[in-house]
Structure 1
Amino acid sequence: MKNLIKFSAIPVLAVAFSAPALAAPKTYAVDPTHSFANFSYNHMGLSEQESRFDTTRGSIVYDPVAKTAAVNVDIDTASVDTGSDPLDEHLRGNDFFDSAKYPKATYKSTKVVFKGDKPVSVEGNLTIKGVTKPVTMTIDYFSAKEHPMKRKDALGAKAHMTIKRSDFGLSKFVPAVSDDVTITVRVEAVVE
């Protein structure tokens, strides 16, 4: 289930902001110290569990004038963090992420949908454990402004998607542990 979080890195695409009329596309590097993906799922009908991946990297290309964007996010599957070392090891193993063989989960956008000047969703392909499926993320929050410390253009976004983990070869314990997993990605990115 936690494997599904890898795609998360995906909300990073929600990087729309006002720009001068002659603006050109800019490339933003995802800040791994302020970006991560959470995943949540129902555990045996008893509780809603939430965990995360600690390492997320990638880039966003954004053109506010043309209202286009592209997102490329990599999530380190071995960085899964549930708060339980034995569970983390199990998730890194063959039953789930198989991190030794598939060290990254990736999300690559195919289209960012705008409503007015604001990005509202990202269409793209999520790859987990060697399986690629189309997944759409809904952008819940977006901000674009100068980073107050770095004095460079920066973007912030929060987006979510729901996937079936069994679609990605992560079906262990379904249906006792829910097949549906919600992945939420929070990203900060700074112009390169």
Structure 2
Amino acid sequence: MKSKLLIALFAAVGIATSVYAAPTTYTADANHTFAQFEYNHLGFSNQTSRFNNVTGTVTIDQAAKKGSADITIDTKSVDTGSTVFNSHIQSEDFLSTTQFPTATFQSNDIIFKGDKPVELKGVLTLKGVSKPVTLKVSNFECKKHPMTGADYCGANAVTKVKRTEFNMGKYAPNVGDDVTITIAIEAAKKE
């Protein structure tokens, strides 16, 4: 009788472990996922703008401490707070959104510290140029959404790039070459 109980217990633990170990894919919530960028303008101020349309998925296997991310940014959704400046940023001198309507970040290398991802190493493609970048992750959390009850994960991730390396060097160095890119993501478990 004891041996049957032990076998049943180990089987239950095995099933629970295999469910926990499975990779889980989360789809970005369009209402709570944005990318913003910040740069210095003529030494006067740090300007912050954002992209309003960001889509993508993140897959996390917390047991194996692995994961991947595939993020797409609609560059035509740039929002500087000024209609005139939005057009300027979308021009060939900068984002060239007619030719390159999207920017992407793809990663198959998520670095964990303990149970939480702390870095995403991947490739940023912007204006047709692909470069390796590392996004530093903060504020990572997975739990039931308090309003919908769905399984959700969220995080913030940040990296710095040089715009001259992506063929967007007009007015450098007067307009800062260093650009900080921040992505805020909230994503629902894919059913």
Residue identity in the other structure for 1:37: A
Q: Which of these residues, 177, 180, 188, is aligned with residue 179 of structure 1?
A: 177
Paired residues for 1:61-100 under 5 Å: 61-100=59-98
Aligned-residue offset at 1:150? 2.6
The answer as to whether partners of 1:35 and 1:56 remain within 8 angstroms in 2 is yes
- Structure 1 distance, partners of 2:67, 2:100, is 27
1:109 paired residue among 100, 107, 110: 107
- Letter matched to residue 96 of structure 1: F
Aligned residues of 2:67 and 2:108 also touching (Cα < 8 A): no
| Structure number with higher relative contact order (C-alpha < 8 Å, ≥ 6 residues apart) | 1
- Residue correspondences, number: 173
More helix by share: 2
The letter for the 2-side match of 1:76 is: D
TM-score, length basis structure 2: 0.88
Bigger radius of gyration: 2
For the residue of structure 1 that corresponds to 2:85, the secondary structure is: helix
Normalising by structure 1, what TM-score? 0.88
Q: Name 1:4's counterpart in structure 2.
A: none
Instruction: Work out which of the residue numbers 29, 45, 54 in structure 1 matches 2:27.
Output: 29
| 1:143-154 paired onto structure 2 within 5 Å | 143-154=141-152
Q: Identical aligned pairs, as a percentage?
A: 45
C-alpha separation in 1, matches of 2:44 and 2:96: 27
| C-alpha distance in structure 1 between counterparts of 2:29 and 2:116, whole Å | 22
Q: CA deviation at 1:110?
A: 2.9
The one-letter code matched in structure 2 to 1:62 is I
Distance 2:168 2:31 in 1: 27
Specify the alignment match of 2:121 in structure 1. 123
Instruction: State which drifts further: 68-77 or 142-151.
Output: 142-151
Gaps of 5+ in 2: 1-15
Runs of 4+ in 1 over 6 A off after TM superposition: none
Q: Alignment partner of 1:167: what SS?
A: helix
Which segment drifts farther, 75-84 or 144-153?
144-153
Q: Distance in 1 between matches of 2:116 and 2:47?
A: 31
Question: How far is 1:165 from its partner?
Answer: 0.6
* 2:3 corresponding residue in structure 1: none
Specify the SS of the correspondent of 1:111.
Answer: strand
Pairwise CA distance, 1:118: 1.2
